[in-house]
Amino acid sequence: MKSLTACIAAFSLTAGCVGAPRESSMVGDYLSGRIAASANDIGVAAASFEDARDEGVEAEEVLRGAFFFKVASGDIDGAAALAEKILANDDKEDDDLARLTLAARDLKHGDYASAREDLAAKAEVEYFSAAMVILNAWALAGEQGPEAALKALAKKDGETFRGFHPLHQAFLFENAGLEDEARTAYQLALMSYGGVVGRDAYGSFLHRTGNTEEARAHYELLAQYPGLDRQVAKRGLERLEKGRTDKTWVGVTPQKGAAVALYSFGSAILQQMADQREAAEKAGFRVGDANYDMPLAFTRIALYLWPDFDHAQRLAGAILNIYGDNESAIAMLKRIPKSSAFYEQAQIDIAGGLIGLGREDEAEKVLRATARAGKSQEARLNYASLLAGQGRHREAVAVYGQLIDDLSDDPPEDAWRFLVGRAASLIELDQWPAAEKDLERAVEIAPKEATALNYLGYSWAERGENLDRAFELIEQAVAIEPNSGAFIDSLGWAHYQRGDYPEAVGHLEHAASLEPADPTITDHLGDVYWRLGRKVEARYEWKRVLELEPSDKLRESVEKKLKEGLPEERA
């Protein structure tokens, strides 16, 4: 890959021939592209790299930047034109994505022979190789029929990522009229890497093949799990009740099959990245902004092949929201129809995008309407959280109460979120006895959930109540998440409440090092410094609190301490 210096040199030579460069120079556009790319501003990066190319210099790095960000922004046809130039340069870097993009273009237009040619070269990166195996099978299906595709996949059973094959074998078996073989393949997909698509498709298969009770049992099991599975289950059970079969997975075309493969790999890559970030954070490492460009690129190509693929629409919208490109995220999420299992989640994510744009009133309307229309737990939870964030705690308590009242006698573990949410608002309303009951119930439901353990333990420590039990709960939370600044702060604060300041200060300093921008942790550190006679340091920390956007209540408390210090301890 050519360096930035090489790009500047190339520009200088060109400028010498044409006179003074215009304000939007190739170097400026290139730098704009790099800055936008580092900030995850996909649209600006794509436009800036393309503007740099328009200056007339085909620098390799500019070409590759323009190509990649065209893919990530969804301009697959434009990216395919650049992919041909990249491959013509005979430089293996980024060739995998270039070949995949060309294959997608050819698949899109039914040119299956050309697609197979695009996929024939050995990929440099293993997950690209695995994706290309499945795309090649779908190109074969389009060219020669499902039987040929099944034979091609069978020959690749030794592949590292063969766990992605069963779902596609299920689609192909069903296309070939082999229902029993399709059923077996679906079941294998459930045990391998079929993901939420596989679980969605299997429930649909059971229903439309007349296995209604098995379909019901499948959805009822999925309903026990949080997130996307629960959403798929809800929509599946609704269809069963209405006697409506889902035709989404009937006669899967090569374009749809390839889209599923690309989405599945993109989703898996994103999950791996997210897990690595979480592990790094738990280990105490500081991580920068998330970069999910490659999962976004895979998902964009999937949508190019199957524009109405709701799984991919949801994922693309989520990544764009993470990147802060809220307008694009909202536009993507609005494409998800009411018939989709992910419609309610899309509305929640649209509300998140609106909040990101500072349009909280609109976000509230979206969440309120979604909560009322579908009685969505997640929509109501987000609506309650929004109300609480606006200081409207009485309204929030009412919405949390609806969620809690709807719980069964044996609620799922993630119901702790409703109880902790209501407790937090009750505390703000000075209704501690009711809040305490909610927190104790949350710990009962989810005895290994660190947030619930910490919230109850910290609340007791804050009040100087049940300190032995508070220590026990907080220590359990810290054992589960040993690098959480919030939990370590709770441990330090419990020691503080006991009057054990020498022990407290170490924990509070550690917490502040992990969460230096947290006003509450900073306030606690100031308090313990004061009690240890380190009053200059205490005042420094309290002043820092005022710079960290504290709540009105905390600001008032800190301003008083800066004037008067802490009151003398009782003997």
**Start-to-end C-alpha separation, the chain:** 71
Q: What is the DSSP letter of 106?
A: H
At 361-420, the pLDDT tens digits run 999 999 999 988 867 889 999 999 999 999 999 999 999 999 999 998 889 999 999 999
Phi, psi (5° rounding) for residue 500? -90, 75
Q: pTM of the entire structure? A: 0.82
Q: Provide the H-helix boundaries in 390-449.
A: 393-405, 416-428, 432-445
Range of the domain at 23: 1-73
At 532-551, the pLDDT tens digits run 999 999 999 999 999 998 98
Whole-number Cα distances in Å, 288 to 281, 313, 348, 555: 10, 26, 25, 29
At 445-456, the pLDDT tens digits run 999 999 999 999
CA distance 39 to 326: 14
Cβ–Cβ < 8 Å for 282, 483: yes
Amino acid symbol at 69: F
The 3-class SS string of 471-497 reads HHHHHHHHHHCCCCHHHHHHHHHHHHH
CA distance 194 to 164: 6
Q: Which of 190-194, 300-304, 443-447, 532-536 shows the lowest per-residue confidence on average (mean pLDDT)?
A: 190-194
Within-domain flag for 334: no
Dig out the tokens for 239 from the structure: 């269809």
Within-domain flag for 8: yes
Cβ–Cβ < 8 Å for 382, 348: yes
CA distance 312 to 471: 45
Whole-number Cα distances in Å, 235 to 221, 407, 415, 548: 13, 19, 20, 44
- Residue 47 makes CB contacts below 8 A (sequence gap 6+) with none
Within-domain flag for 394: no
Cβ–Cβ < 8 Å for 139, 254: yes
Judged against a pLDDT cut of 90, whether residue 32 lies above it is answered with no
Cβ–Cβ < 8 Å for 337, 365: no
CA distance 312 to 193: 16
Q: What pLDDT does residue 380 have?
A: 93
CA distance 487 to 530: 22
Handedness of CA 532, 535, 537, 538 (dihedral sign): positive
Within-domain flag for 496: no
89: left (phi over 0), alpha (psi -120 to 50) or beta: alpha
Q: pLDDT band for 14, please (50, 70, 90 cuts).
A: very low
Q: pLDDT band for 121, please (50, 70, 90 cuts).
A: confident
Q: What pLDDT does residue 543 have?
A: 97
Dig out the tokens for 178 from the structure: 């082999």
Within-domain flag for 52: yes
CA distance 383 to 392: 11
Q: pLDDT band for 17, please (50, 70, 90 cuts).
A: very low
Whole-number Cα distances in Å, 70 to 55, 64, 136, 291, 442: 17, 10, 23, 16, 47
CA distance 285 to 333: 33
Helix (H) / strand (E) containing 237: helix 228-242
Phi, psi (5° rounding) for residue 210? 90, 5
Q: Which of 29-43, 56-70, 99-113, 130-144 shows the lowest per-residue confidence on average (mean pLDDT)?
A: 29-43
Any idea of the CA torsion for 199, 200, 201, 207, to the nearest 10 degrees?
A: 100
Q: pLDDT band for 127, please (50, 70, 90 cuts).
A: confident
Q: What pLDDT does residue 21 have?
A: 30
Amino acid symbol at 1: M
Angle (nearest 5°) at CA 99 between 98 and 100: 90
C-alpha 541 chain-centroid distance: 34
Cβ–Cβ < 8 Å for 329, 320: yes
Q: What pLDDT does residue 437 have?
A: 97
Within-domain flag for 68: yes
Q: Provide the H-helix boundaries in 283-415.
A: 293-305, 310-322, 326-333, 343-356, 360-374, 377-389, 393-405
Q: pLDDT band for 443, please (50, 70, 90 cuts).
A: very high
Q: What pLDDT does residue 291 have?
A: 79
- Residue 93 makes CB contacts below 8 A (sequence gap 6+) with 1, 64
- Residue 382 makes CB contacts below 8 A (sequence gap 6+) with 348, 351, 352, 367
Q: What pLDDT does residue 91 have?
A: 59
Dig out the tokens for 168 from the structure: 């596609």
Q: What average pLDDT does this structure show over 280-309? A: 84
At 193-212, the pLDDT tens digits run 889 999 999 999 999 999 99
Regarding predicted confidence, which is higher, 161 or 10? 161
Counted domains in the chain: 1
Mean pLDDT, the chain, whole residue set: 87
Judged against a pLDDT cut of 50, whether residue 9 lies above it is answered with no
- Residue 199 makes CB contacts below 8 A (sequence gap 6+) with 190, 218, 222, 229, 232
Phi, psi (5° rounding) for residue 25? -80, 165
CA distance 84 to 89: 9
Within-domain flag for 177: no
CA distance 509 to 64: 46
At 73-92, the pLDDT tens digits run 899 999 999 899 888 876 55
Within-domain flag for 28: yes
CA distance 310 to 114: 28
Whole-number Cα distances in Å, 114 to 53, 86, 100, 122, 321: 28, 17, 12, 16, 36
Dig out the tokens for 105 from the structure: 């273009």
Concatenated DSSP letters for 122-172?
Answer: PPSSHHHHHHHHHHHHHHHHHHH-HHHHHHHHHTTTTSTTGGGHHHHHHHH
